Structure 1
Amino acid sequence: MERSWWRRRGNKAALIAQTGLTSAQYYLILNRALDKPQSLLQEPDLVRRLLRLRERRARERHGNETPHLRQAEEPQWRQEQAKEGQDALG
């Protein structure tokens, strides 16, 4: 749904309701999916965009300190990905 909801008629909340889920249930499922490495393999651009949005919103809510997104609490695959990126930069 995240890939194409904006192309459909109606607002996102109405589309979520049509699935039979509450907004809270939908976003819980979505956030769990974002934390799975398989999601990144299947939809890399979409997952990266949604992760950036999630992290930006967390920073906006909590300032620069985002306790639930600290390095130690990030999924292991994200930590490895970040380390690989740092290694590539030198």
Structure 2
Amino acid sequence: VTRAVTPMKSVEASAVGTPVVASDLPALAELVQDGVTGALVPAEDPVAWARRLGDLIAEPGRREALGSAGRAWAVGTRTWAANARRY
């Protein structure tokens, strides 16, 4: 379903500063800027998933940076106030 429907869970995770790792699918790529607000991994590639998660486990500073950037993005673009300004 996430190939076509944009889920809210990743936005919620970003809003609380949790770095998001998601499959590189169009609906998810709308919500995660690879290497900036989170990480995109090829769908259905468990080796790539394991590698990316392992990298993030080994790099706490990188996790923190991705989480902070994700939170800034979510708070700046995905709140009622941000939507009101945009529309």
1 or 2, which has the higher strand percentage? Answer: 2
Question: TM-score if structure 1 supplies the norm length?
Answer: 0.29
Q: Specify which structure has the bigger relative contact order, considering alpha-carbon pairs within 8 angstroms and separated by 6 or more residues.
A: 2
1 or 2, which has the higher helix percentage? Answer: 1
Whose radius of gyration is greater, 1 or 2?
1
